[in-house]
Structure 1
Amino acid sequence: MNNLREVFQKYAAVVFFDTETTGLDAKTCQIIELAAIRIEQTDRGTLRMAANLDEFIRLPEGEKLPEQITKLTGITDEMLEKEGLDEADVVSDFEKLLDDTAGPVLLAAHNAQFDLLFTQAMAGRYDRPLAELLARADYLDTLTVYKDRRAYPHKLANAIAAYKLEDKVQNSHRAIDDVAALFEVCKAMDDERADLLEYVNIFGYNPKYGVGGPRIDGVTYWPQRFNKFMQSSSYTLPALAKGGRNNA
């Protein structure tokens, strides 16, 4: 069991995070649930959860959730009104998980492009350190990794099944459950082949549709086709990008 050994030789912490949102466009929609866990390595080489959060965010006055979002996530207007926090408070809480005074932080998400655009948009609405912390962090998109390992489809639920983690985690379309699942999937991928560091700041995209939204500073984008089997080390997306070979 690798226990993300190589990752923690470079990073002081890995923050696995996920968002639930009111829609798909970070410019016009907002986060309604943000969940994250901060994982650190102990002196014995084991992993510990150093901090976590799972918070709802209230909608602006007079706004309601789209019906399809409630059906997908189970989150209701009543839940947001009763349990939701002001967005500024969630920004402050997320900053604590991204603290990098002890060393560099790696942010990991499944389809990280989506979640990062929403968190960047949220950070941009406040004069606080979150935007800077996000910019200083490195990014790991586990969707890009998984596309190099298994055939379509590539949702988190498919990864859970592929790595036989159904008894450990669940994919419920609720952010906190997906974060816990993502952590286990990431460990399983690292056990399978310890090359996660090669995927840092490299996002694959479907060449048919292009990059989903604005490109994020510091990220290399590369077309990624659907593969039917685990790619050899010479043909992973990072290897293709490094060699300048377009695999579209």
Structure 2
Amino acid sequence: MTWHTKKLVAFDTETTGVDVESDRIVTAAVLEIDPLEGGIVRHEWLINPGIDIPAEATAIHGITDAMAAEGRDPGEAVAEIALHLGAAWMEMTPVVAYNASFDLTLLDRELRRYRGEGLWHGSVIDPLVIDKHFNRYRPGSRKLVDVAKHYRIALSEMDAHGAAADALAAARIAWTQARWYYPEISRMRLPELHANQEQWHAEQAASLADYFHRQGRHSDADSVSLDWPLRPAPASKAATA
């Protein structure tokens, strides 16, 4: 059997913002999906991030400071999330994450912040990287809700930006890509697919940085990371790992 016909684990977060070095996880979901059994085991967290949630972030995911105050201790929660992902990787099960370098890097920084060590990872499948590789010149948004629509996956604007709904949509996109659109990725062994995505992401990021340079947006270009699925930690954070 190929990887997409076996168990998949999907991961997504909702956060206080988009800066992986300073923002925090507010909600997270890890879904264990078994295509053969047709079942989904859901693990979900509401986390007290320890900082204020900006209004613009609340407008996206709907979590207010008052709601988050009832959430889990962040150190305990991120350790549990890492345990679930680590268990999948130890079983050689891939973790599906849309725009994986954001969610996994943010989790890594949270682990360093609260537990003193970073995230170990195995094979990752990122439907965004795959989509950009095979549809480089397709116009339009690459947001999850729009890419889901392209692959005929049900995810309404109302459902989007909930961690569990987004994680499930990402897994369904990955399955659809492998089953119907790009069967060559279904024939790749997981280490090969992971390595290919590292290369594809680096090429995509280099192209974006080049675009920014040509637009005179040099600071934006300098902020683009070629690394996937984890961005390197700054020296101060790396020292705590």
- Asked if TM exceeds 0.5, the reply is yes
Amino acid at match of 1:109: A
| Structure that is richer in helix per residue | 2
Residues 1-248 of structure 1 mapped to structure 2, 5 A cutoff: 5-7=1-3, 13-40=7-34, 45-49=36-40, 51-60=41-50, 63-82=51-70, 84-94=71-81, 95-100=83-88, 103-127=91-115, 131=118, 134-150=119-135, 151-152=138-139, 153-166=141-154, 171-192=159-180, 193-194=182-183, 195-196=185-186, 197=188, 198-201=192-195, 202-203=197-198, 204=201, 205-206=204-205, 207-209=207-209, 212-213=224-225, 215-216=227-228
Within 1, Cα distance between the matches of 2:120 and 2:26?
A: 22
Name the CA distance, whole Å, in 2 between partners of 1:48 and 1:87.
Answer: 29
Q: Deviations over 1:66-122 (max 9, x none)?
A: 11111111111111012x111122123211343158622322211111111101111
Cα gap change, 1:218 to 1:118, in 2 (>3 Å): closer
Q: 1:59 and 1:102 mapped to 2: Cα distance?
A: 28
TM-score, structure 1 normalization? 0.69
Which amino acid counterpart does residue 141 of structure 1 have in structure 2? D
After superposition, the Cα gap between the structure-2 partners of 1:97 and 1:167, relative to the gap in structure 1 and judged at 3 Å, is closer
Following the alignment from structure 1 to structure 2, what is the Cα–Cα distance between the partners of residues 86 and 118?
Answer: 16
2:178 alignment partner, SS class: helix
Query: Identity over aligned residues, as a percent?
Result: 22
Q: Which amino acid aligns with 2:154?
A: E
Task: List alignment gaps of at least 5 residues for structure 2.
Answer: 210-220, 232-241
Q: Where does structure 1 lack aligned partners over 5 or more consecutive residues?
A: 220-248
Question: How far apart are residue 142 of structure 1 and its match?
Answer: 1.0
Residue 138 of structure 1: CA displacement? 1.5
1:102, 1:27 → 2: CA distance? Answer: 27
Amino acid at match of 1:143: L
Indicate if the aligned counterparts of 1:157 and 1:171 stay in contact, CA closer than 8 A.
no
Q: Measure the CA separation in 2 of the matches of 1:172 and 1:135.
A: 28
3-state SS of the aligned residue for 1:98? helix
Contact 1:170 1:181 in 2 (8 A): no
- Tell me the distance in 1 between the aligned counterparts of 2:15 and 2:131: 23
Cα RMSD, aligned residues only: 3.1
Give the letter for the 2:126 counterpart: D
> Moved runs in structure 1, 4+ residues, more than 6 A?
167-170
Q: Secondary structure at the match of 2:104?
A: helix
